C-alpha cells in the first residue's frame, strides 16, 4: 500500500513538473514574441500630414533624416501660421514656439521685426492677424532643403471704443533653408529653419 502511494505521488510530481516546465517555456516564448513586436513598433515613426483634400502618411525608420516634400510643405505652413497669425493672447506663446524652430541667427532676425510697434497692435489695439499662403516652392535636391514662399497677412481690429482702425493686408515673402534634425516632443517634424530672409512681394510680371 505504501509503495502504491509513493508511486502515485511520484507520477503526480512528474506531471506537475512537466506542466510547470511547459507553462514556463510558453511564457518565455510569449515574452520574447511581444518584446520583438514592441521593439519593431517603436522603430517606426509614422507622420500623418493632413491636407484639405487628403491625408498623407510618411514612414521613417529610426535614424533617418530624410524629409519628403509633403513633410517640408506641412512644416512650412505650420511655421508661417506660428510666425504671423496672432491675437492679444497668443502673441507671446507663438513667438516663443516659432523661435524654437529656428537657429539663433534666424530667430534674432525674426524677433527684430516683431518690435514694440507690432506688439502694440495686438496688446493695445486688439488686432487679430491671419495669414494666407499664396505660393510655395520646395527644393529637396539640396542639403539643407530650400523653401521659398509668398503670403498675405490680414490684420483686423476689434473696435472697443470711439477709435476705429482700418483693416489691412500686407503681402510678403520668405526664403529659408531647412535642416533635418532628430524628431522630439517639442519638434515632431524634426526640422529647423536656417538662413531666414524676408522678401518683398512677388511682382505680377
State the residue for C-alpha cell 530667430: 107
Give the number of domains in the chain. Answer: 1
- Cα 48 from Cα 57, distance rounded (Å): 5
- Report yes or no on 77 lying in a domain: yes
- Report yes or no on 55 lying in a domain: no
Which grid cell sits at 43? 522603430
Asked whether 147 and 72 are in contact (CB, 8 A), the reply is yes
Candidate from 50-64, 110-124, 154-168 with smallest mean pLDDT? 50-64
For the chain, percent of residues with pLDDT exceeding 90: 47
- Report yes or no on 59 lying in a domain: no
* Tens-digit pLDDT profile for residues 133-180: 999 999 999 989 999 999 999 999 876 656 667 888 999 999 999 999
Domain that holds residue 159: 66-199
- Report yes or no on 47 lying in a domain: no
- Report yes or no on 4 lying in a domain: no
- Report yes or no on 205 lying in a domain: no
Strands (E), 11-126: 44-50, 55-61
What are the distances in angstroms from CA 111 to CA 108, 125, 136?
5, 20, 23
CATH number of the domain to which 132 belongs: 3.10.450.230
- Does the pTM of the predicted model rise above 0.85? no
Amino acid at each position: 500500500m505504501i509503495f502504491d502511494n509513493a508511486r502515485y505521488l511520484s507520477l503526480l510530481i512528474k506531471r506537475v513538473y512537466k506542466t510547470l516546465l511547459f507553462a514556463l517555456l510558453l511564457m518565455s516564448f510569449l515574452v520574447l514574441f511581444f518584446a520583438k513586436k514592441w521593439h519593431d513598433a517603436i522603430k517606426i515613426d509614422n507622420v500623418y500630414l493632413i491636407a484639405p483634400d487628403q491625408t498623407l502618411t510618411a514612414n521613417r525608420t529610426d535614424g533617418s533624416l530624410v524629409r519628403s516634400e509633403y513633410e517640408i510643405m506641412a512644416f512650412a505652413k505650420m511655421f508661417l501660421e506660428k510666425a504671423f497669425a496672432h491675437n492679444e493672447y497668443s502673441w507671446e506663446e507663438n513667438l516663443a514656439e516659432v523661435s524654437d524652430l529656428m537657429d539663433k541667427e534666424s530667430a534674432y532676425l525674426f524677433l527684430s521685426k516683431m518690435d514694440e510697434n507690432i506688439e502694440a497692435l495686438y496688446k493695445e489695439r486688439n488686432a487679430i492677424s491671419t495669414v494666407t499662403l499664396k505660393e510655395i516652392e520646395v527644393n529637396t535636391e539640396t542639403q539643407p532643403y530650400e523653401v521659398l514662399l509668398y503670403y498675405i497677412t490680414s490684420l483686423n481690429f476689434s473696435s472697443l471704443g470711439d477709435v476705429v482702425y482700418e483693416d489691412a493686408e500686407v503681402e510678403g515673402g520668405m526664403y529659408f533653408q531647412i535642416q533635418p534634425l532628430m524628431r522630439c516632443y517639442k519638434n515632431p517634424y524634426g526640422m529647423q529653419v536656417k538662413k531666414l530672409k524676408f522678401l518683398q512681394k512677388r511682382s505680377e510680371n
